Amino acid sequence: MNNELLEKLKAGRVHLHEIGDAQNASVAVEHRRAAISELTGVGFRHISHFSFDAEDAAKRNIENMIGAVHVPLGVAGPLRVNGDYASGDYYIPLATTEGALVASADRGCSVITACGGANVRIFRDEMTRAPVFKTKDVAGAKRLTEWVKENFQRLKERAEETTRFGKLLSVEPFVAGRSVYLRFAYDTADAMGMNMVTIATDAAVDLVLSENDVELVALSGNMCTDKKPAAMNIIMGRGKTVSADVILGEEIIQEKLHTTPERMAEVNYRKNLLGSARAGSLGFNAHAANIAAAMFIACGQDAAHVVEASNAMTTMELTEEGLYCSVTLPSLAVGTVGGGTRIGTQQECLAMLGAAGAGNPPGTNAKKLGEIIAAAILAGEISLIGALAARHLAKAHAALGR
């Protein structure tokens, strides 16, 4: 420990971020942690212990690093998934501090697997970025939208010069007075792709500005829409638009969920559909965010995108074959390369699903992960609706001491 450096950090003569310029990551982490410990009076017995590569994390994932926060990791399954990219039985990694969540997901996985597995399909796959421009008037706004349509191929070429894997799929204009929002949509292969599409769109914006009398107000104008509840993402999709379904037999429902198909259908209708509508909710589901968040943390996804994942709709319908259950996620933003997927613990969770790193061909691993997450969310929905239908929710939490 360099005591002179420690004193400078404590006195503010050296900023927390500056120490990384002169020291390797591990030494910088140790000095920052010691300074913060003395400044706050807290002894950090736990956050100092971690196994991932501090050097790599400091370069790619975190600034002013002082350690790591540990989240308990559980597993649910096996969960049978019948998708285009995920096919087989999977053990689902769930990082959470919410007691009873893993147990509930595990029960849902058991129900789905006993009924032959969840069918899962991806309908759209595109990541978006939407810069906002200011024109002189609505006539100028009209000219800009027409220019974009006429010059899409040139915008595509300019954007794709910045990336090996990203492909510009469309540019959709939206106008509010003299404000013009251009929603760029990309195929980002196995990356979740926010950084990729931001850089690519910035390059395309230069072309827009060079040939139009307009002003760029912001590279993101909130029509993307990133990390916020938005009807735009429900209607047009963002990331992966994916649906999963399964038909539950009456005997399985009675044996594993201790209720009836009729009761579950009514709970779903009055809770997930009517209740959500009455509340003005953008998500018509029981707790999709619970499973999404736990899998996002375990698998190195951007946790803030749980906001978009919660835009899910759960349906349950009585049929002659049994209870038809489905979940549709219009905006599931996930990837298997980049970001937190590089961290050792998260890589192991992705490897557990057979979805670590880049797929062959590109994009297949991220789609596989999206299908598995959708099936896991369906499992969570079935289990919670079953518990509510049987009036077991409070009893389960009480029994587990929560």
3-state secondary structure (DSSP) of residue 187: strand
Average pLDDT of the residues of the chain: 95
Identical topology for domains 73-124+240-399 and 131-218:
no
List the structure tokens of 90: 């999977």
For residues 335-374, b (16+ Cβ closer than 10 Å) or e, as one string? bbbbbbbbbebbbebbebbebbebbeebbbbbbbbbbbbb
Residue 398 has pLDDT above 90, yes or no: no
Residue 362 has pLDDT above 80, yes or no: yes
Distance CA 305, CA 228 (A): 8
3-state secondary structure (DSSP) of residue 188: coil
Residues 188-198 have a mean pLDDT of 97
Catalytic annotation present for 397? yes
Residues 127-133 have a mean pLDDT of 98
Q: Which CATH architecture has domain 131-218?
A: 2-Layer Sandwich (3.30)
- The confidence score (pLDDT) of residue 119 equals 98
- The confidence score (pLDDT) of residue 140 equals 98
- The confidence score (pLDDT) of residue 267 equals 98
Active-site residue identified among 98, 172, 187, 348: 98
Distance CA 285, CA 327 (A): 8
Distance CA 252, CA 385 (A): 14
Share of the chain above pLDDT 90, in %: 89
- The confidence score (pLDDT) of residue 188 equals 98
Residue 400 has pLDDT above 70, yes or no: no
The CA dihedral of 154, 158, 160, 163, to the nearest 10 degrees, is 180
- Chain position carrying tokens 């929710």: 393
List the structure tokens of 26: 């591990």
Q: Convert the pLDDT of each residue in 149-172 to its tens digit.
A: 999 999 999 999 999 999 999 999
Distance CA 366, CA 192 (A): 8
E strand or H helix at 214: none
73-124+240-399 CATH? 3.90.770.10
E strand or H helix at 78: strand 73-83
- The confidence score (pLDDT) of residue 396 equals 55
- The confidence score (pLDDT) of residue 10 equals 86
- Give me the numbers of helices (H) and strands (E) for the chain, helices first please: 17, 10
Residues 359-388 have a mean pLDDT of 98
For residues 276-289, b (16+ Cβ closer than 10 Å) or e, as one string? beeeeebbbbbbbb
- Tell me the pLDDT band of 238, cut-offs 50, 70 and 90: very high
Distance CA 77, CA 111 (A): 10
Residues 89-115 have a mean pLDDT of 97
Distance CA 356, CA 93 (A): 13
Of residues 274 and 9, more confidence is placed in: 274
Active-site residue identified among 125, 126, 302, 371: 302
- Number of residues assigned to the chain: 402
Catalytic annotation present for 98? yes
Q: At what angle do helices 138-150 and 152-160 cross, to 10 degrees?
A: 70
- Chain position carrying tokens 């993402």: 233
Nearest to 341 by CA among 28, 21, 56, 41: 56
- Chain position carrying tokens 């492909």: 167
Q: With DSSP H G I counted as helix, E B as strand and the rest as coil, what are the percentages for the chain, rounded to 5?
A: 45, 20, 30
Q: Convert the pLDDT of each residue in 50-84 to its tens digit.
A: 999 999 998 899 999 999 999 999 999 999 999 99
- Tell me the pLDDT band of 89, cut-offs 50, 70 and 90: very high
- The confidence score (pLDDT) of residue 24 equals 87
Residues 233-249 have a mean pLDDT of 97
Look at strands 313-318 and 323-332 and give their pairing.
Answer: antiparallel
Residue 1 has pLDDT above 90, yes or no: no
H helix intervals, 63-189: 101-114, 138-150, 152-160
Q: Cβ neighbours of residue 279 under 8 Å, at least 6 residues apart?
A: none
Distance CA 152, CA 141 (A): 17
- Tell me the pLDDT band of 18, cut-offs 50, 70 and 90: confident
Residues 323 and 340 sit within 8 Å (Cβ to Cβ) = no
Largest CA distance in the chain: 77
- The confidence score (pLDDT) of residue 309 equals 97
Distance CA 158, CA 63 (A): 31
- The confidence score (pLDDT) of residue 394 equals 54
**Segments making up each domain of the chain, as ranges:** 3-60, 73-124+240-399, 131-218
Q: Is the dihedral of CA 267, 268, 273, 276 positive or negative?
A: positive
Residues 355-377 have a mean pLDDT of 98
Residue 397 has pLDDT above 60, yes or no: no
Residue 387 has pLDDT above 80, yes or no: yes
Which segments within 130-269 are labelled E, that is strand? 132-134, 167-176, 179-187, 215-218, 239-248
Residues 369 and 355 sit within 8 Å (Cβ to Cβ) = yes
- Tell me the pLDDT band of 21, cut-offs 50, 70 and 90: low
Q: Cβ neighbours of residue 24 under 8 Å, at least 6 residues apart?
A: 55
Residue 44 has pLDDT above 60, yes or no: yes
Catalytic annotation present for 302? yes
The pTM score is 0.95
